[in-house]
Structure formats: structure tokens, C-alpha cells
């Protein structure tokens, strides 16, 4: 067991277990549609993850900053998600599915906030760890699509639960965050001095909420992530409408996720060199482009190409940009709290978009919904030009 502790295989298991559960959400709309849920019903059920995350994410960030053992917190939350996933496949009642999906994905979102910081806490680079999350997501999309075609929902969610439990155990054996302050702040500080340090008040911990740069960034993310993540939920339904089978949907989502591997693996080569505002504008333009294709295409091929080449790059790049933005704007002792607040805002945007999108699909059709997504994302691109953050800190190297 000592040999396994903090070893590379442990990191692989932790990140693949976490992202296997996250990847299952990519085909959730297909699963709910297969058990007879209408667009408004499935959008309401899937929005549960965001409403639960709104409550959980700020608490998770605050707890991580205060107890200073985020790996233990991540392990407990992922184990709870595993229990909810196992139970999810048993029920078909809307209320039960809403509660269970909310718990499962709310916990996963909370763990993901912690995992983004833990990825660089040990002796391995961020990209070397995060790449296994990408692989786990890709494997999940492929396997889940195949299981939906060949087996039952109960089999699917039992597998998801088992993978998450393995991930929960693995998180206990990775390197914890040893420092919550910046390197200069903690240099030459003895254990006694650290213990004597007074705990910060909530006002001090959340002082970043008074920074206009952070508030503008949150507004931008509210719009952009609401559309980007909402798109992921409904892309499988779009592909089904364009006559793509469930197994192929899983294959295309899996291939699309694998495309982001080079970007994640070599993130240290460009993320600290390119200004964050430039990355934000580029990401927003990618989002506008993909939504226009989804909204205007009449055949499956253009949509499939965008799913494979653009979708995952767009959603992964914004997560990495966020990690950099928060570290540049917020003091190091409040980063987990700020990321929790960011994720909460992201969840509100996504929850509202999913609720609205279900009604838009029934009233106007899924492709008209994507054209509306394109317009909202264009507003986010315009807002990106007003964010002024100096690229003064290395996060990915």
C-alpha cells in the first residue's frame, strides 16, 4: 500500500474514476429519452445537478480552504456520488430522478473543483494528471453509449458507481495540498507560526467579490458556460434527430474528447504564455461557431465533425482558462473559495439554460435553440474584450 501511495497509477485511478462519472452525463439525455421522458421533463431532471451544485460548491470551496485536506473531502464526496449513481438506475419517477441526479452530479462538480487544484499538488505536472480525466471521459462516453444499446440502465449505473468508488479510494492516496498560500507568503514560516496564525473571517475569505474584474468575469462565464455546458447535454439529442445511432453517438463523443488530449498534455507550453483574455475570446468564438453549425446543418456530417473537432476543446479550454483567471485575480488563500463561487455561478447559468432549453426545443425545435445559444455566446465574446488581467503568474508550469 505504501508503494501505491502518491504513485502515478493512483492518480490515473482517481481522475479516471471522477471523469467516468462525469462522462456518463454526456449521454444522460439519450437515457432519459429512452425511458419515455419528454424534452421538458429531461431538461428539468438534468437541471438538478446545477441547483444542487449551487448549494454544494461554495461550501466545498470554503471547507477546502479551512480544513486544508481537500483530498479527503474529494474522496467522501465521490463516494456519495457513487451511492447516488447506483440508486439512479432503479427509479423512473421524475422526482426521484431529479434528487438522485442532483446529488450525483452536484458531488462530482464539487470534486472536480478540488481536483483541478490537486492535479498540480504532487510531483507530476497538471497535464500529466488531467489527461487521464480526459481519457476517462472518453471511455465513459463510448462505454455508456454501447451499454444503452445492448444492456439496461441498471447495468450502466452500477458500472458508473463502481468506477467512482475506485476513484474515491484513489483520492485518499494522492498528494494533498501542502500550501494554500503563495510560495513567498509561506517561505520560512515554521509549524508553530502556522498553527498560531488566526483563521480568516468569511469577509476576508470572500473579499474577491469586491473586485470588479472578478465580477465581470463571473458575468461572462454565466453566459458562456451556460451555453457551452448546456450544449453538451443536448448534442446527443441533436445527433439522434439527425439519424445517428446511440452507439455511434457514444463513439463520436469519445473521439471528440480524445481530440483534447494534446491540449491538456501540453497545457504548460501555451497556457502560461498566451494572455488569458486572448484565450477567452478564442474560446467564445469557437462556441459561436459550433452553435451556428448545430443550428444550420441539415445533415449529420457537419454536426459530427464539430462534435469531434471543436466541442471538447471548447469545454476543456474554458476550464483551464478559469483556473488561470482565478489564480491571477484572487489571492492564493482564497482560490478554492473563488473556484467554488465560479462553479456555483456556472451552475446557475447552466440550470437556467437547461430549463429554458427544454421549452425552446418543444416550441421551436432543437436547432433553433442552438441559434439562440450562438447569439448569447456572441455577447460573452464582446464582454471578454473588457476584462483586463495581467499575465503575471505561472499556473501550468
The least confident of 11-25, 175-189, 211-225, 253-267 is 175-189
User: pLDDT tens-digit profile of 12-31?
Assistant: 999 999 999 888 887 888 88
3-state secondary structure at position 275: coil
Question: What does the pLDDT look like over 119-166, one tens digit per residue?
Answer: 766 678 877 888 898 888 888 888 888 888 888 888 999 999 999 999
Does the pLDDT value for residue 189 go beyond 60? no
Give me 123's grid cell. Answer: 510531483
The arithmetic mean of pLDDT across residues 237-247, rounded, is 88
- pLDDT, tens digit, 9 for 90 and up, residues 46-101: 888 878 877 887 777 777 767 667 888 899 999 999 999 999 988 889 999 999 99
User: Does residue 252 surpass a pLDDT of 80?
Assistant: yes
Q: Using the predicted structure, report yes or no on whether residue 181 has a pLDDT greater than 80.
A: no
pLDDT of residue 99: 94
Instruction: Name which of 84-98, 194-208, 236-250 the model is least confident about.
Output: 194-208
Residue 283: closest CA among 316, 308, 252: 316
312-367: pLDDT as tens digits: 788 888 888 888 888 888 877 777 778 777 777 777 777 788 888 888 888 999 99
The pLDDT of residue 355: 82
**Residue 88 has what pLDDT?**
92
Distance CA 150, CA 65 (A): 44
Cα 163 to Cα 15, 112, 133, 167, 256, distances in angstroms: 10, 15, 13, 6, 22
Dihedral (CA of 12, 17, 22, 26) sign: positive
- pLDDT value, residue 198: 54
What percent of the chain lies above the pLDDT cut of 90?
Answer: 26
Q: Say whether pLDDT at 187 is over 70.
A: no
Question: What are the structural domains, with CATH classification, of the chain?
Answer: 8-177+210-384 (1.20.1250.20)
Closest by CA to 396, choosing from 189, 125, 130, is 125
- Here the contacts of 252-255 (C-beta below 8 Å, separation 24 or greater) are 252/304, 252/307, 252/308, 253/26, 253/27, 253/138, 253/141, 253/142, 253/145, 253/307, 254/138, 254/139, 254/141, 254/142, 254/145, 255/138, 255/308
- Look at residue 191 and tell me whether its pLDDT is greater than 50: no
CA distance linking residue 327 with residue 321, whole number of Å: 10
Please tell me the predicted confidence (pLDDT) of residue 184: 37
- Is 242 a residue whose pLDDT tops 50? yes
CB 14 within 8 A of CB 167: yes
Please give the Cα distance from 14 to 18 (Å, whole number): 6
Counted residue by residue, the chain has a size of 397
More confident residue, 107 or 342: 107
Q: Which residue has the cell 421551436?
A: 364
Check whether 185 has a pLDDT greater than 70. no
Short-list 132, 157, 153, 177, CA closest to 18: 132
Mean pLDDT computed over every residue of the chain: 83
Burial of 305 (0-12, 13-18, 19+ CB in 10 A): middle
Q: 193 vs 57, which has greater pLDDT? A: 57
Amino acid at each position: 500500500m505504501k508503494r501505491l501511495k502518491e504513485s502515478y497509477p493512483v492518480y490515473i485511478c482517481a481522475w479516471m474514476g471522477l471523469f467516468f462519472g462525469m462522462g456518463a452525463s454526456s449521454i444522460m439525455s439519450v437515457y432519459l429519452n429512452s425511458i419515455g421522458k419528454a424534452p421538458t421533463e429531461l431538461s428539468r431532471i438534468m437541471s438538478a445537478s446545477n441547483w444542487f451544485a449551487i448549494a454544494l460548491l461554495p461550501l466545498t470551496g470554503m471547507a477546502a480552504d479551512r480544513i486544508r485536506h481537500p483530498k479527503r473531502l474529494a474522496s467522501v464526496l465521490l463516494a456519495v456520488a457513487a451511492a447516488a449513481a447506483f440508486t439512479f438506475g432503479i427509479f423512473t419517477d421524475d422526482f426521484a430522478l431529479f434528487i438522485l441526479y442532483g446529488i450525483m452530479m452536484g458531488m462530482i462538480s464539487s470534486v472536480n473543483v478540488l481536483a483541478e487544484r490537486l492535479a498540480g499538488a504532487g510531483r507530476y505536472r497538471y497535464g500529466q494528471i488531467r489527461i487521464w480525466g480526459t481519457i476517462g471521459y472518453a471511455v465513459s462516453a463510448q462505454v455508456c453509449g454501447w451499454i444503452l444499446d445492448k444492456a439496461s440502465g441498471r447495468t450502466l449505473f452500477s458500472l458508473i458507481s463502481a468506477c467512482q468508488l475506485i476513484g474515491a479510494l484513489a483520492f485518499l492516496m494522492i498528494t494533498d495540498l501542502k500550501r494554500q498560500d503563495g510560495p513567498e507568503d509561506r517561505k520560512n514560516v515554521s509549524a508553530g507560526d502556522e498553527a498560531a496564525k488566526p483563521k480568516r473571517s468569511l469577509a476576508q475569505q470572500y473579499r474577491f467579490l469586491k473586485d470588479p474584474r472578478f465580477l465581470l468575469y463571473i458575468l461572462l462565464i454565466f453566459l458562456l458556460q451556460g451555453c457551452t455546458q448546456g450544449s453538451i447535454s443536448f448534442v446527443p439529442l441533436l445527433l439522434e434527430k439527425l439519424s445517428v445511432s446511440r452507439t455511434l453517438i457514444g463513439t463520436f463523443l469519445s473521439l471528440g474528447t480524445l481530440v483534447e488530449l494534446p491540449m491538456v498534455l501540453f497545457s504548460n507550453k501555451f497556457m502560461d504564455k498566451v494572455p488569458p483574455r486572448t484565450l477567452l475570446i478564442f474560446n467564445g468564438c469557437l462556441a459561436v461557431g459550433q452553435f451556428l453549425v448545430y443550428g444550420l446543418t441539415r445533415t449529420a456530417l457537419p454536426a459530427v465533425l464539430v462534435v469531434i473537432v471543436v466541442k471538447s476543446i471548447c469545454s476543456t479550454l474554458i476550464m483551464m482558462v478559469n483556473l488561470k483567471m482565478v489564480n491571477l485575480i484572487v489571492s492564493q488563500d482564497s482560490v478554492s473559495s473563488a473556484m467554488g463561487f465560479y462553479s456555483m455561478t456556472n451552475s446557475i447559468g447552466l440550470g437556467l439554460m437547461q430549463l429554458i432549453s427544454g421549452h425552446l426545443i418543444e416550441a421551436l425545435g432543437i436547432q433553433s435553440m442552438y441559434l439562440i445559444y450562438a447569439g448569447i455566446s456572441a455577447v460573452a465574446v464582446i464582454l471578454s474584450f473588457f476584462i483586463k488581467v495581467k499575465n503575471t503568474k505561472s499556473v501550468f508550469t
